[in-house]
Amino acid sequence: LCEMLNVDIKNAYAAGDERNDISMIQAAGVGVAMKNAVEEAKAVADYVTENDNNHDAIAEVIDKLMLGA
């Protein structure tokens, strides 16, 4: 997606919770693991959310990291 939009991957945010998300979390400028993520994803993330997938974790990422609220 970054390539298609001509956005440097280091300017991207990526959020995930499973092992298949680890490479995406590592590649992004800001890698985020959800509270309920596997430990391996949390270990490589720049930020671990206080909320899980079902309780507004992405809203938390937008508010705290992207908007600086």
pLDDT digits 0-9 by tens, 3-20: 999 999 999 999 999 999
Query: Which runs of consecutive H residues, i.e. helices, occur in 1-69?
Result: 2-5, 22-27, 39-44, 57-61
Tokens of 17: 């919770």
pLDDT digits 0-9 by tens, 48-68: 999 988 888 889 988 888 887
Spatial contact of 32 and 53, defined as CB atoms under 8 Å apart: no
State the average pLDDT over residues 19-34. 96
Say which DSSP state 30 is in.
Answer: E
What is the C-alpha separation between 23 and 16, in angstroms, rounded?
A: 10
Q: What pLDDT sits at residue 54?
A: 85
